Structure 1
Amino acid sequence: MAERSHKISERRREIKRVSQAARRAGMGHSSGVASEAEGRLHSALVGILACSPADVRSFLAVAGIGDLLERVPAERFWATFRQHYSTEAGEVDEARFAADLSIWPPVASRVAELRAGRG
């Protein structure tokens, strides 16, 4: 278990590094400029990747892409993650991402705390 957690931590760091490099390079857009929605999705992904390995795995499971860390090379992680949260027209589906984020246990529990007036 500890070895798997260590491997996932290494993958997270590698994916975060590659993802940030893609962001700086304009994420592959010919114009070099990503949409604001894409920037928000990317920032959220970087924040998720900064969480513990267990939390990263739990978010990906909530999103229905639980095997993404193991299945996708670091260089393709951002593109695959972005594709998962894209509409048929290729736009970022922020509502879908927000829905997944809202039921992810670390966020859902914080929302419950705030609603109960404990935050």
Structure 2
Amino acid sequence: MSGKPVDSKFDYSVERQKVSNQGPIPEGSYWISPADIWENNAIKSLLVSSRSAWGDYRITIRVSPGTQTHARGGFFIHGGDIPGSAGCIDLTSSMNQFIKDLKSLLGKSVNCHVPLTVEYSDAE
């Protein structure tokens, strides 16, 4: 899921994608790199953010040329206990498995780019 719910529902419309810190990550082409995996631990939790909001891991989402972000940025894939985000891709309890699978698939190739396409079937 991405963005914050409105009346308990997630709105992936193009207009909502333009809303900073509320709407979902805009549709388009992005990429991630395993080198950007940030692992939460007790010290980082105290210094940076809450584990309940971010989970045990986060990974930076980078914008590919040609993607219209509507002047938004700072996107991540992360987990956490609270469904929804300020525009990130929130995998909630599935984030740890995602990181495990990503590391297994790529092995020691941490300096590679993994394409990420964001597309909403119900965006209007």
TM normalised by structure 2 equals 0.25
TM normalised by structure 1 equals 0.26
Between 1 and 2, higher relative CO (CA 8 Å, sep ≥ 6) is seen in 2
Higher normalized helix content (fraction of residues) = 1
Higher normalized strand content (fraction of residues) = 2
